[in-house]
Chains A and B, each alone.
Chain A
């Protein structure tokens, strides 16, 4: 089940939030070694104080297994603070109907890939984000994703526009835009479960046919040293 947690109902969902921050520390801090601030086993940044809307996936016993964070680009965003150099144009998009989705992660306790993890939890989170956006007058969701996620979502029928790519990180980071109206149509006609839309293992994602930027198909830099864009929060 997906829970929508905001400041107003944070008090009643303290257990979900605590688990979410701990999961983020495990996934982004420990496993992916991003430059994120983890304290007492929890990962938080400044934007967690900017009253975001969290989508938190949990099982029946309220054990958290996935999450993401939604913020309007009219307000402070991770894109504008951390991607201003690498994606100078798209990172400065600013409008109340364009939202960013960050800290997307799934951890179901198995050895499954953690970010852009393929499976029913990811599928449910994506569906919820699109559905929530549609109900709230949001036109576009922006998300930084890896190539595997782009491919997976496209296979599931979602339209994704690639607004930018940077090879400074490994794997390369794509800024993907989900046009909500077009993606919402996928919900209406019933989605191919993302689990079945997973790319065969070990193959490079095929980004042809995307209206991507020149160079977006160029997966150079995949072997470069990992470099994390996420600033350390003091």
Chain B
């Protein structure tokens, strides 16, 4: 939980990892180090909504916990998974309402294996409604954890959406969305060296809105930053300079 690197830098590095590292397995492993958390888990499934149907899971959990998880069929018990695939909003694991003795036993078992007790899960989706879940966990002091969560939630939401997008494109063949006229305009002005504030003046819209368009364009093009989005857009013939 290194406080030394600014959050923006971590997010940009994380995007780079998600974009360039060869396998999603290595992505989660690199993210764990980069984010300074105990564990990183990404869940998705072939069904698009039920995480237990043709599950796609990448995680940094120790192998003895993974074996135990499979052996005990915890995928059908895990309250984090259940809540994650029936939520739109992110949630802290402390918000989980334990509803059965089975769930209680599973959570106790998890803590016994060094998982949690603190965690944050971020549900993600796609234009086609294909759902996923990105979670990070931490075992330290609760105040440290709360601070970490508050400082990093925005970045983690972005990272969660990025990794989901990569998996959907790589494993499930989802394609990129098209750029709109406004997004292309904002990228074109960026290509000419204009900052968001300049573009806001030129297009007569707010700076916040310019950032939204650039962010959306970056997301659609899977780019780490605006500079990369500009060069990708040029390479694809989406903008000309």
A contact set with B: CB distance below 8 Å: 4, 6-8, 10, 50-53, 70-76, 80, 88-90, 92-98, 132, 135-140, 161, 163, 177, 179, 182, 211, 213-214
Interface size class for chain B? 35 or more
Q: How far is the CB of A18 from chain B (nearest CB, A)?
A: 18
Contact with A92, one of B122, B160, B180 (Cβ below 8 angstroms) = B180
Q: How far is the CB of A215 from chain B (nearest CB, A)?
A: 11
Knowing A76-B129, A139-B212, the reply to whether A211 touches B200 (Cβ < 8 A) is yes
**Which residues of the partner chain B approach A53 to less than 8 Å between Cβ atoms?**
87-89
B216:A96 contact, CB within 8 angstroms: no
- Confirm or deny: B177 has a beta carbon within 8 angstroms of a beta carbon on chain A: yes
- Confirm or deny: B181 has a beta carbon within 8 angstroms of a beta carbon on chain A: yes
B127:A80 contact, CB within 8 angstroms: yes
**Which residues of the partner chain B approach A73 to less than 8 Å between Cβ atoms?**
216
**Nearest-neighbor residue (CB-CB) of A91 within chain B:** B180
B86:A95 contact, CB within 8 angstroms: no
**Which residues of the partner chain A approach B156 to less than 8 Å between Cβ atoms?**
137
A98:B208 contact, CB within 8 angstroms: no
**Which residues of the partner chain A approach B19 to less than 8 Å between Cβ atoms?**
none
Assuming A6-B87, A211-B209, what are 12 further A-B pairs, CB within 8 angstroms?
A52-B88, A72-B88, A72-B124, A76-B125, A95-B216, A96-B124, A97-B215, A98-B212, A98-B216, A137-B155, A137-B157, A139-B215
Task: Give bound CA distance, A136 to B160, whole Å.
Answer: 13
Q: How far is the CB of A55 from chain B (nearest CB, A)?
A: 11
Task: Give bound CA distance, A177 to B206, whole Å.
Answer: 10
A214:B178 contact, CB within 8 angstroms: no
Task: Give bound CA distance, A214 to B203, whole Å.
Answer: 10
Produce 1/0 per residue, B137-179, CB < 8 A to A: 0000000000000000111111011000000000000000110
Task: Give bound CA distance, A136 to B157, whole Å.
Answer: 8
B contact set with A: CB distance below 8 Å: 82-83, 86-90, 122-129, 131, 153-158, 160-161, 177-178, 180-183, 200, 204-206, 208-209, 212-213, 215-216, 219-220
Knowing A7-B86, A76-B128, A136-B90, the reply to whether A96 touches B180 (Cβ < 8 A) is no
**Which residues of the partner chain B approach A135 to less than 8 Å between Cβ atoms?**
153
Q: How far is the CB of B136 from chain A (nearest CB, A)?
A: 13
B180:A163 contact, CB within 8 angstroms: no
A163:B157 contact, CB within 8 angstroms: no
**Which residues of the partner chain B approach A139 to less than 8 Å between Cβ atoms?**
154, 212, 215
Task: Give bound CA distance, A92 to B157, whole Å.
Answer: 19
B87:A89 contact, CB within 8 angstroms: no
Knowing A51-B88, A211-B206, the reply to whether A94 touches B177 (Cβ < 8 A) is yes
**Which residues of the partner chain B approach A179 to less than 8 Å between Cβ atoms?**
206, 208
B89:A89 contact, CB within 8 angstroms: no
**Which residues of the partner chain A approach B124 to less than 8 Å between Cβ atoms?**
72, 74, 96
B158:A96 contact, CB within 8 angstroms: yes
B88:A95 contact, CB within 8 angstroms: no
Question: Which one of B131, B160, B209 has the highest number of Cβ atoms from chain A below 10 Å of its Cβ?
Answer: B209
| A-B contact list, 23 entries, CB within 8 Å | A51-B87, A51-B125, A53-B89, A72-B124, A75-B125, A75-B126, A76-B127, A89-B183, A90-B182, A92-B178, A92-B183, A94-B220, A95-B216, A96-B160, A97-B161, A98-B212, A136-B90, A136-B153, A137-B155, A140-B212, A161-B206, A177-B206, A211-B205
A93:B204 contact, CB within 8 angstroms: no
**Nearest-neighbor residue (CB-CB) of A90 within chain B:** B182
**Which residues of the partner chain B approach A137 to less than 8 Å between Cβ atoms?**
90, 122, 153-158
Task: Give bound CA distance, A80 to B220, whole Å.
Answer: 15
**Which residues of the partner chain A approach B129 to less than 8 Å between Cβ atoms?**
50, 75-76
**Nearest-neighbor residue (CB-CB) of B185 within chain A:** A89
B87:A161 contact, CB within 8 angstroms: no
Task: Give bound CA distance, A24 to B219, whole Å.
Answer: 33
Knowing A74-B126, A92-B178, A95-B161, the reply to whether A182 touches B215 (Cβ < 8 A) is no
